[in-house]
């Protein structure tokens, strides 16, 4: 199960109905003949160089929707079918991509420098992965191919957030405005269409969005060729290199609770290598898997320093030898390859090889030492600032043969009225009471938050009497989680408390589990940020 670390303001945008002009939809790539499952260890290891995501180039400028008289860069980002070479010895893999690559082109901007993106759906009309039409928002009367893009970790107005029901179909464009009024951080964009999000992302629809700040350059962190973004995602492949997505035994209900692949891709490559100099590198790690949790470490068990997580820099570097990341979590580490000059070092997770670093015998100028302070604490927000606490359960329902048939938040279905309605410019504590046997990475759109603590409790007593009886002391967040987060791991049998300031925008957003199979089966709820003095609805 997913709870274990597996080895095996005024905006007119997001025009969901606006048809794209000026291009023709390409005919879909014909499906390849099915073949038996691939056993990745039978392939040669470390024969492909690590690809680095290409940098997206602006298509021009457009008026700033919030600042009359100003212009901002805009990008055109098509979603289309492509053939991706994931390994030298495999035929190209049919995937759905932003642009022509997996991950899609990286969008970079400076903090406070807004951008606009046209997300163009140029995909085929039929899906090539198994849709479960019994899921909420995926009924048989709906188009098979639907997309809506969400900027994960972005502080965006609600019209541009990628609400799961605001999807578009092939031949349409979604236009989004991203203010980028936030600290430097590694964000990512991905599909968020209701009921089929897990399939669209598995097919390849995600990419990096990097917010930078000039202040970072004063820290003399590894940069340029010494900064490497790494999207790690697992897949199941056939022997002829095609994606395989598992289904349940019931052909009318193919949804399955979790998906774990044995082919671990890094920036779209299986078992790649990367040439490095004997010096420090900044590795920007992102867990892009549907459900797999990773525990990253170097094969020689060497220490590294964690310097950032989801929403930017930590206060100070944290030395570690192993780094756990749940789906959608990100972390930046600084690894020093100088002691390993002339040798090879692998990035691994439990029994999986991820990436080989080939360390040269000699290298260039190293630069300044890693600073002891990365981010000043600032005013911030503390627990006493919270205007209320909400107790919210993570629930699972079972069918007669003990096959998981759905997960819920606060035992409430997606279509029920909004129950979480914080007020703009206030802070709340959300208590995530995990009644399941899984660890769930919980993501809140728009906001950033701090993890306060996790505390064990008696699940059976709570389920019987709704009494919360703690069975141990509160455990503070791990040091590598000490910064601002947008995704928090809620472990089984624990109450995970997060402190959430609700800033920037009022409107309708969502919160959900980022195990995508769970999210697609209603472990997702809308929430609404209200303006002071307003009521929900």
Question: Is residue 380 pLDDT above 70, yes or no?
Answer: no
Question: Is residue 422 pLDDT above 60, yes or no?
Answer: yes
Q: What is the pLDDT of residues 515-524, one digit of tens each?
A: 999 999 999 9
pLDDT band at 534 (very low <50, low <70, confident <90, very high): confident
Beta-bridge mates of residue 394: 409, 434
- Predicted confidence at residue 381, as pLDDT, reads 78
- Predicted confidence at residue 217, as pLDDT, reads 87
Question: Is residue 25 pLDDT above 80, yes or no?
Answer: no
Compute CA 239 distance to the chain's CA centroid, rounded to the nearest angstrom: 28
Q: What is the pLDDT of residues 208-253, one digit of tens each?
A: 999 999 999 899 999 999 999 999 999 999 999 999 999 999 999 9
Beta-bridge mates of residue 29: none
Q: Which of 466, 463, 344, 303 is nearest to 396 (CA)?
A: 463
Q: Average pLDDT of 86-114?
A: 98
Between 364 and 109, the more confident residue is: 109
Question: Is residue 181 pLDDT above 70, yes or no?
Answer: yes
CA distance 483 to 258: 29
Q: Average pLDDT of 466-480?
A: 97
Sequence-ordered strand ranges (E) for 252-311: 263-266, 269-270, 272-276, 280-287, 294-298, 304-309
Question: Is residue 402 pLDDT above 70, yes or no?
Answer: no
Question: Is residue 532 pLDDT above 90, yes or no?
Answer: yes
224-359 and 383-529, same CATH topology:
yes
Beta-bridge mates of residue 372: none
How many CA atoms does the CB half-sphere of 17 hold within 13 Å? 1
Degrees to nearest 5, angle at CA 336 with 263 and 308: 70
Q: Average pLDDT of 413-426?
A: 97
CA distance 131 to 140: 9
Which residues, 6+ apart, have CB-to-CB distance to 136 below 8 Å? 194, 195, 413, 414, 415, 521, 522
Question: Is residue 21 pLDDT above 50, yes or no?
Answer: no
User: What topology is assigned to 224-359 in CATH?
Assistant: Immunoglobulin-like (2.60.40)
pLDDT band at 404 (very low <50, low <70, confident <90, very high): low
Share of the chain above pLDDT 90, in %: 87
- Predicted confidence at residue 34, as pLDDT, reads 62
- Predicted confidence at residue 23, as pLDDT, reads 28
Q: Give me the residue spans of the domains in the chain.
A: 224-359, 383-529
CATH 2.60.40.420 fits domain 383-529: yes
- Predicted confidence at residue 363, as pLDDT, reads 79
> What does the mean pLDDT of the chain come to?
91
Q: What is the pLDDT of residues 433-444, one digit of tens each?
A: 999 999 999 999
Between 250 and 11, the more confident residue is: 250
């Amino acid at each position: 199960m997913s709870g274990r670390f597996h080895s095996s303001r005024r905006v007119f945008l997001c025009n969901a109905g606006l048809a794209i002009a000026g291009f023709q939809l390409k005919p879909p790539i014909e499906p390849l003949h099915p073949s038996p499952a691939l056993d990745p260890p039978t392939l040669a290891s470390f024969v492909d160089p690590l690809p680095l995501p290409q940098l997206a180039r602006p298509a021009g400028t457009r008026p700033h929707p919030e600042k009359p008289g100003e212009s901002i860069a805009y990008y055109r980002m098509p979603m289309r079918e492509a053939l991706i070479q994931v390994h030298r010895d495999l035929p190209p893999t049919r995937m759905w991509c932003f642009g022509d690559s997996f991950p899609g082109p990286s969008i970079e901007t400076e903090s406070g420098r807004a951008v606009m993106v046209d997300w163009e759906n140029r995909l085929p009309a039929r899906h090539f992965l198994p849709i479960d039409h019994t899921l909420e928002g995926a009924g048989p009367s709906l188009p098979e191919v639907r997309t809506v893009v969400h900027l994960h970790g972005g502080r965006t107005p609600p019209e541009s957030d990628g609400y799961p029901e605001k999807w578009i179909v092939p031949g349409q464009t979604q236009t989004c405005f991203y203010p980028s009024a936030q600290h430097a951080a590694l964000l990512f964009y991905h599909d968020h269409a209701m009921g089929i999000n897990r399939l669209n992302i598995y097919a390849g629809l995600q990419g990096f969005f990097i917010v930078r700040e000039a202040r970072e350059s004063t820290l003399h962190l590894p940069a340029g060729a010494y900064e490497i973004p790494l999207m790690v995602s697992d897949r199941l492949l056939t022997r002829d290199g095609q994606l395989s997505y598992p289904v349940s035994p019931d052909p009318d209900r193919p949804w399955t609770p979790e998906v774990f692949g044995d082919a671990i891709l890094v920036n779209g490559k299986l078992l790649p290598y990367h040439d490095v100099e004997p010096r420090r590198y900044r590795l920007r790690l992102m867990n892009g898997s549907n459900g797999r949790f990773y525990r990253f470490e170097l094969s020689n068990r060497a220490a590294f320093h964690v310097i950032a997580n989801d929403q930017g820099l930590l206060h100070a570097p944290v030395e570690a030898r192993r780094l756990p990341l749940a789906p959608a979590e990100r972390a930046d580490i600084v690894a020093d390859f100088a002691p390993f000059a002339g040798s090879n070092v692998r990035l691994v997770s439990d029994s999986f090889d991820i990436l080989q670093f080939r360390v040269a015998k000699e290298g260039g100028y190293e630069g300044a030492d890693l600073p002891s302070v990365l981010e000043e604490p600032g005013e911030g927000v503390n627990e006493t600032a919270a205007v209320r606490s909400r107790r919210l359960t993570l629930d699972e329902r079972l069918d007669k043969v003990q096959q998981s048939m759905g997960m819920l938040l606060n035992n409430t279905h997606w279509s029920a009225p909004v129950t979480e309605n914080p007020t703009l410019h206030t802070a709340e504590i959300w208590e995530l009471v995990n009644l399941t046997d899984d660890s769930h990475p919980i993501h809140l759109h728009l906001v950033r938050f701090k993890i306060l603590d996790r505390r064990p409790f008696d699940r059976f007593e709570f389920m019987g009497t709704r009494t919360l009886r703690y069975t141990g002391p509160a455990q503070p967040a791990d040091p590598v989680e000490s910064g601002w987060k947008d995704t928090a791991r809620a472990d089984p049998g624990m109450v995970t408390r997060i402190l959430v300031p609700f800033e920037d925008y009022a409107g309708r957003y969502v919160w959900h589990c980022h195990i995508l199979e769970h999210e697609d089966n209603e472990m997702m709820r809308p929430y609404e940020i209200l303006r002071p003095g307003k009521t929900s609805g």
